[in-house]
Structure 1
Amino acid sequence: MAEADSPLLNAASRVGPIVAGVRGATIADRLASACAAIDGRLVFTTSLGIEDQLITHHIFTSKLPIEVVTLDTGRLFGATYRLWQETEERYTRRIRAYYPDAEAVTAMVGEWGVNGFYYAREARQDCCGVRKVEPLGRALAGAAGWVTGLRADQSGQRSAVPLAEWDAQRGLVKVAPLFDYTRDAVAAECERLGVPVNELHARGFPSIGCEPCTRALKPGEPERAGRWWWESDDTRECGLHLTADGKLVRAKATA
């Protein structure tokens, strides 16, 4: 196939007006404009963290045609499952779960052990790949748009996160309606709207993932320092978010 005939290149050349069509000053306006601009299935992947809870609130209360899904790795905190139930009961809507492939989990645990990720970086990356990245691929299969809870101030590597962009790796439009929000602004908005949030946030967990791989922050640590804390360089990401050139979006580690 000639380069000019590449489906991804052709899609990227057409996506400019679509990306430009995602706009608005409020979260609700941004989500509604995404629904109007993007022709096809829209998926919001929630980790049930505070940012995602605020987005979920607007999707459900505005009855927007955006699928709300979560990746249940099988290693989440009990508090996260309780919040999941509370959220469904509050909004009388279901959050669809995508689970890791059972045979892949069996093989991965058989090779590395149940908590092998503490001892080898390759084991941790394999675990994230099996439990999160592969299920995400299934969740986004056939989607035209992907809504995320990314904020530009979460780390230096995420500082360039835009409201909307073309994700060449997955061939869809990626939307971050909280891209210019601070964490404090998100928390204040959740309190104002009565959005249910994870009880772990009040116990020093700003970023919440799998239970074995998440700890509370120490004084002065940046927001994502509690994720994969035993790794000491800048490669601590699970692989869900990629840059335009296919590289990981990484949060800088701290000493």
Structure 2
Amino acid sequence: MKALVIDDEELARRRIVNLLDEVPEIEVLGECSNGKTAIKEINEKKPDLIFLDISMKDMNGFEVLQKVETSPKPIVIFVTAYDNYASRAFDVDAFDFLLKPFKDQRFFKTINKVLNITRKEADVNFEKRIKELFLIYSKETKRSAPSVKIPVKQGNKTIFIDPVNILYILASGYYAEIYTANKKCVLRESLGNLMEMLDNDLFFRIHRSAIVNVNYVKELVHSEYSEVDVRMSDDKLLHISKSNKKDFLKKMGV
């Protein structure tokens, strides 16, 4: 059996690889540190088994799996720190999970289960199960979002930003710029992952490069060609994409 280890934390990847060295039935094909590389490696190398981190910086694990084109599909072991829903979400045949931090005994128990699963069993209803798990993941992360503060490293410190104080968030390459009333913070995170952490009642992604807190929307600016911009409380003007305009205007009661 050939395996691929996918996690954006190097120490987490190394631990799994080291444990797999003790399993002669499994050959490690390689490691991936982000979702984009993982998709490429899975489709090219066609592993039998993948260890997949749910929360990575560029995309989450479910987004990776939705772009897997190989057939039959690989057996998936999710690696997650979300213990509030993991046992319920992953009680599915041909899938398992490792809850960080996990003990060696738990790891080898999972491996024994995997070695008894056939590729055919793993392939059955793969797409359906991924969609179901993605919905569970989305609901649970959004449900807990109001109490979650966003950690941002600044020099030798880590500050925590309360989402209710965020005016808007802008994409800048691989980074996100978080704006509050009195400061701007930068962190290496995708807007997609940030949206999963935020309360959908308060935040709306008006453009692929912008998320706004609706409580800080000052006014809507209508221009020619039916385009609409949003002016925030600090007078920052942000463009609303055509694909998001209808839903955003509905949310704002316009």
Structure 1 length as normaliser, TM-score? Answer: 0.27
**Greater relative contact order, per chain length (Cα 8 Å cut-off, separation 6+):** 1
Larger of the two Rg values belongs to structure: 2
